[in-house]
Amino acid sequence: MTTKTASDRQPMRRGLFRLTVTDDFSSAHCLRNYKGPCEALHGHNFVVEAVFEGDRLTQDTEMLMDFKELKGFLKQVLDKLDHTHLNNVPYFQRRNPTAENLARYIYWELGRLLEGQPAQVHEVSVFEKATSKATYFEVP
């Protein structure tokens, strides 16, 4: 009788790999229609956590994607927001620059940059501070 180890078994279900990278940016905003102190111009040191997923590792490196590449994509998006007044960014001239809308904007921008890549964006979280975060993801 032979005993199979976990590495000998073929997966019964489709497996996915998830990779997470984090970066930050500083910006100012004022929330429209808020009726409180955050309606006035104020700033945050935002932290962004981006989660990517895919189902195939490369044959040569056996990685989904290099973390360095994913950090580069995230940096491209955040550089457009860093040290800006978010209300002046075209996307936020039509939408309130809330943490929720920031998460969605970053998700969509990453999705555009990752077209044709082995990993796709799964979800994006934006932290206004360590105790407050908003997450955006899409359901198929």
Answer whether residue 3 is part of any domain: no
Domain count, the chain: 1
Answer whether residue 1 is part of any domain: no
Domain coverage including residue 44: 17-137
**Which residue from 1, 3, 44 is spatially nearest to 26, judged by alpha carbons?**
44
Answer whether residue 76 is part of any domain: yes
Q: What is the pLDDT of residue 25?
A: 98
Cα–Cα distance, 47 to 89 (Å, whole number): 18
Going residue by residue through the chain, which has 140 residues, state the pLDDT in tens, using 9 for 90 and above: 666 666 666 667 889 999 999 999 999 999 999 999 999 999 999 999 999 999 999 999 999 999 999 999 999 999 999 999 999 999 999 999 999 999 999 999 999 999 999 999 999 999 999 999 999 999 98
76 SS3 class? helix
Tokens 């994607």 sit on residue = 65
Q: What is the pLDDT of residue 13?
A: 83
φ/ψ of residue 96, rounded to 5: -70, 135
pTM over 0.75: yes
Answer whether residue 104 is part of any domain: yes
Q: What is the pLDDT of residue 14?
A: 83
In tens, the pLDDT along 104-125 reads: 999 999 999 999 999 999 999 9
